[in-house]
């Protein structure tokens, strides 16, 4: 569908952002759904997010994804936050509701959907370990607790950050050491360990075993050192592309009011990754 005078615009603000898969995923979704929308990447420097949001309002932009380094600093420019975004103090999607710009956090829901739809895994009653205590980890910790996990063990190189992140899980939140990974049904790596240029596994590979599901939030490269180590130990291990696509699906629905065309979004993301995009 070519761009017209009626084309509606959504986009992502971040820096760096030129590597982002979001334009590929969302433009595939708009095309599949037959919507006259387009999605672009806006390179917005650290500190400029409030100005970018003011510009988006003036331009009539209908939806924004928000990535590093703006997930917290963008809050001051918004009219309202969803309950999840309020708890996390972070936003990864902004939707226009009438005249208001409303901040949402769809990462945690994206992980829960990826677990359910792609792996047939429900966190309810399960022991979960999250490696990391940054923005992605916090969204995951809150979502796992809300989904009924029996315990959410937070393991992080800086224990003080783990303490803060574990509070999000309420009474099921525990700060732990790496050896507790052995007891976990689900292990989520929410650190950049294993990303391109950093090939050390997120945790000691001898802690993995065959009764575990391991999700590495890193999706470039698709086969990280953590995934390889977990699979070698007999665990079922997957990368972060599922969460990325499902969090985008939530944003798509917030913006358009329609169910997201997940197969088209996944196919576009996988094709872009295979061609070296990230």
Ligand X SMILES: NC(=O)c1ccc[n+]([C@@H]2O[C@H](COP(=O)([O-])OP(=O)(O)OC[C@H]3O[C@@H](n4cnc5c(N)ncnc54)[C@H](OP(=O)(O)O)[C@@H]3O)[C@@H](O)[C@H]2O)c1
Within 8 A by CB and 6+ apart from 225, the residues are: 193, 194, 199, 200, 201
CB atoms within 10 A of CB 132: 25
Min CB(244)–ligand X separation in Å: 4
CB atoms within 10 A of CB 173: 22
CA–CA separation, 151 and 129 (whole Å): 8
Torsion, Cα of 180, 125, 87, 83 (10° steps): 160
Residue 133 touching ligand X (CB under 6 A): yes
Min CB(77)–ligand X separation in Å: 20
CA–CA separation, 86 and 90 (whole Å): 7
Reference 128, options 92, 173, 64; nearest CA is 173
Min CB(138)–ligand X separation in Å: 7
Q: How wide is the angle at C-alpha 62 spanned by C-alphas 59 and 64, nearest 5°?
A: 100
Residue 167 touching ligand X (CB under 6 A): no
| Of 71, 96, 126, 246, catalytic | 71
Residue 73 touching ligand X (CB under 6 A): no
Beta partners for 41? 12
Residue 135 touching ligand X (CB under 6 A): yes
Residue 134 touching ligand X (CB under 6 A): yes
Annotated catalytic residue 87: no
Among 21, 143, 147, 218, binds ligand X (CB under 6 A): 218
Residue 190 touching ligand X (CB under 6 A): yes
Residue 136 touching ligand X (CB under 6 A): yes
Reference 163, options 150, 153, 148; nearest CA is 153
Contact 148, 125 (CB under 8 A): yes
- Give the pair of three-digit tokens for residue 196: 């391109």
Which range, of 17-25, 27-35, 118-126, 153-161, touches ligand X by CB under 6 A?
153-161
Q: How many residues form the binding site for ligand X (CB under 6 A)?
A: 23
Which range, of 25-33, 51-59, 82-90, 189-197, touches ligand X by CB under 6 A?
189-197
Among 84, 105, 247, 256, binds ligand X (CB under 6 A): 247
Contact 12, 22 (CB under 8 A): yes
- Give me the helix-helix angle, 241-256 and 22-33, nearest 10°: 50
Q: For residues 96 and 246, which CB has a smaller minimum distance to ligand X in the complex? A: 246
Residue 157 touching ligand X (CB under 6 A): yes
Residue 215 touching ligand X (CB under 6 A): no
Which range, of 7-15, 26-34, 51-59, 211-219, touches ligand X by CB under 6 A?
211-219
Which range, of 50-58, 96-104, 120-128, 150-158, touches ligand X by CB under 6 A?
150-158
Residue 106 is classified by DSSP as -
Which residues make up the interface to ligand X (CB under 6 A)? 107, 132-137, 156-158, 161, 190-193, 195, 217-219, 240, 243-244, 247
Active site residues: 71
């Amino acid at each position: 569908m070519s761009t017209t005078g009626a084309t509606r615009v959504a986009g992502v603000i971040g820096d760096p952002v030129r590597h982002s898969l979001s334009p590929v995923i969302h433009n595939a979704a708009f095309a599949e759904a037959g919507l006259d929308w387009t999605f672009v990447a806006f390179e917005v420097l650290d500190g400029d997010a409030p100005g970018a949001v003011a510009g988006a309002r003036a331009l009539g932009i209908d939806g924004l994804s928000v990535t590093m380094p703006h997930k917290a600093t963008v809050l001051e420019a918004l009219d309202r936050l969803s309950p999840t975004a309020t708890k996390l103090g972070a936003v990864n999607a902004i939707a226009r509701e009438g005249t208001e710009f409303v901040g949402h956090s769809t990462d945690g829901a994206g992980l829960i959907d990826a677990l359910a739809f792609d792996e047939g895994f429900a966190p309810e009653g399960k022991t979960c370990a999250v490696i990391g205590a940054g923005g992605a980890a916090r969204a995951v910790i809150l979502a796992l607790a809300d989904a009924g996990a029996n315990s959410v063990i937070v393991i992080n190189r800086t224990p003080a950050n783990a303490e803060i992140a574990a509070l999000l899980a309420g009474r099921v939140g525990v700060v732990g050491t790496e050896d507790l990974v052995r007891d976990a049904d689900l292990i989520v790596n929410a650190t950049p360990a294993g990303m391109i240029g950093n090939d050390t596994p997120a945790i000691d590979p001898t802690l993995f075993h065959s009764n575990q599901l391991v999700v590495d939030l890193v999706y470039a490269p698709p086969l990280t050192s953590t995934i390889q180590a977990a699979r070698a130990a007999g665990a079922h291990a997957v990368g972060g592309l599922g969460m990325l696509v499902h969090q985008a699906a939530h944003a798509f629905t917030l913006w358009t009011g329609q169910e997201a065309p997940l197969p088209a979004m996944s196919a576009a993301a996988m094709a872009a990754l295979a061609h070296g995009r990230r």
